[in-house]
Structure 1
Amino acid sequence: MDIRQLKYFLEIAKHKSITKAAESLHVSQPALSKMMKGLEDELGIPLIIRSNKTSDITDAGLIVMEYAQKMLLLMDEMSTTLNDMTNLSRGQIHIGIPPIIGSLFFPKVLAKFHKTYPNVHINITEYGGARVVKSIEEGEFELGVAVLPVSEKDFDVYPIVEEELKLLVHQDHPLADHETVNLHELKDEEFIFYSEEFALHQFVWDECINQGFKPNILCKSSQWDFMSEMVAANLGVTALPDSICHRVLNPEIKIIKLRPVIPWKLAVITKKGRYISNASRTFINFILSAKQFFHYN
């Protein structure tokens, strides 16, 4: 049994005539009769009562009619849905985003994308950067936002942000009036660090080691506003990306350039070789064409 047989059978039922159905379908009457005979043989039951003038439908034929109409309707719905997905009338995106990145950049991006593609649903899971990378690798998400570097052997990488970390100190700190501070000058300071699940933790740690000292960590947090308030309370120093520094409005905090530069680069990543849905590919292209949303205003 195939879809064409069902379509042709419904046409016969509509016209109650093989002859008229053949004319409507632009096929020969013998070919149509042969196709119907094949359908009846396959089902093992007559569907049509043939006479000289009409082709009436049997009780079994009425049941086949009912199911044929449902099947053809489902086929049409499937085609429409696939067409809608291709043209982004609908779709779903599953993305992993570190909380710091989500709060900084993505509200504006998502608002603009939703306005452009209102029927595409975006499912966001907030993980630390390291876990986002692992989740992409394990297939939990199609795409995620990660802090570079990541292995370009394992991931396709689409850069979106490039900034540097800056130092935050209390206004009464001895270095507060400096325009630039070398990291090795902080070897005796107490640091407020991001938690280990965040890439920033490892970046600052590694650079301190490169500068010849192990940072003395007073506390760790996953919240940049808490970290900056700890600095405002004169409990230690911290290093945060430039975009976050622009949001720190406490007048008791001084923001200073760090040397050597500790870069903070963000990218959308996908697992190499994985199928990426049309909705997700469109989202990636949208982000890459709207990088103005990833700069502090």
Structure 2
Amino acid sequence: MNLRFLDTVVAISQQKTLVEAAKSVNLSHSAVSLQVSSLEDELQIRILDRSRRPPELTEQGWALVEHAKRLRLIVDDILSLSERSDLHGKISIGAVPSTITHLVVPALAAMRSEHPALDVELHTDLSNRLIQRVLDRDVIAGLVTEPEDAIDELSIIPICGEPYQLVAPVCATSDSQAELLGSWPFLWFDQRSLLSRQVAYYLRENRIRVNPGMEATSIEAVEALVAHNLGVSILPRRKNNPPMDGVVYLPLQGPSLERQVALITRKSSPRQDVTKELAKALKNVSAKKPIPK
């Protein structure tokens, strides 16, 4: 059985169409079809339902995807046993979107310059889903908002702290937290996230009632809504991220509130070498002063 053919089936599960899946693995549409047909003949199962447009994975196809993911991790773990001193092989890591541009990307660039044989696949998701993906061995490590409770199977490496701040439009006539939160709609970052749970806890503990406003699935989108005078919000001051035009950032009143960004990995992961280097690179990037806008 060809492992690359199994990788192609995994790619199909992650894309909307066979054409997009083919592009993601640098193959032609016909090559993808041939690989799937070859696997179907070898395994005597139907992987794709070709009666649908576009074709979709069958139940057996989805089951094969899960086995293929586990097999790829096992193969990569075996390859990591090599006595080579440099980091190499294919790895998958995850990160919350708010850390990508100014933290994760520079860290990966630094790692790649030192370890060119390391092939990194980057996934973005919310913290709670990334935690589960690490536990499920879908990714070897995830950069997340540090979980509120310890998880026995995970190692947690603190990377940096990001203080929360009140974010308001520049046209706001007051810098009073009470007036801003009381008179403007409150804009939420995805309320399923650990980040928003921390904000909700702060509001409850300080007995602050807010006027419900819009909700967005990225911090950048929330800031853009604020910049267009659609409300106020409470967001972490992201490491090395330049301020957005049209927005003022004010310190929160009362007890300090800070998002802890941490790298998580399974304690039993055989790629601790990669995780340690990634944590080192992330800490180096977070220690640098941001470039003024």
Shorter chain as normaliser: what TM range?
0.5 to 0.7
Gap change, CA 1:101 and 1:295, over 3 Å in 2: farther
Number of matched residues?
A: 211
Mapped to 2, the partners of 1:295 and 1:93 lie a distance apart of 29
Partner residue, 1:266: 261
Partner residue, 2:132: 134
CA RMSD of aligned residues (A): 2.7
Q: Give the residue type in structure 1 aligned to 2:161.
A: E
Runs of 5+ unmatched residues, structure 2: 1-78
Where in structure 2 are the equivalents of 1:171-250 lying within 5 Å?
171-176=170-175, 181=177, 186-243=181-238, 246-250=241-245
Runs of 5+ unmatched residues, structure 1: 1-80
1:270 alignment partner, SS class: strand
Contact 1:195 1:221 in 2 (8 A): yes
Work out which of the residue numbers 98, 101, 114 in structure 1 matches 2:99: 101
Gap change, CA 1:292 and 1:236, over 3 Å in 2: closer
The structure with the larger Rg is 1
Higher deviation after alignment, 165-174 or 260-269: 165-174
Contact 1:193 1:238 in 2 (8 A): yes
Q: Give the residue type in structure 1 aligned to 2:234.
A: A
Q: Give the residue type in structure 2 aligned to 1:145.
A: L
What is the percentage of aligned positions where both structures have the same residue?
Answer: 17
Q: Give the residue type in structure 1 aligned to 2:281.
A: I
Q: TM-score, normalised by structure 1?
A: 0.62
2:230 alignment partner, SS class: coil
Mapped to 2, the partners of 1:91 and 1:221 lie a distance apart of 36
Mapped to 2, the partners of 1:116 and 1:245 lie a distance apart of 22
Where in structure 2 are the equivalents of 1:35-50 lying within 5 Å?
none
Where in structure 2 are the equivalents of 1:58-97 lying within 5 Å?
84=82, 86-88=84-86, 90-97=88-95
Compute the displacement of 1:283 (Å): 2.8
Gap change, CA 1:153 and 1:99, over 3 Å in 2: closer
Mapped to 1, the partners of 2:126 and 2:83 lie a distance apart of 31
Mapped to 1, the partners of 2:87 and 2:249 lie a distance apart of 46
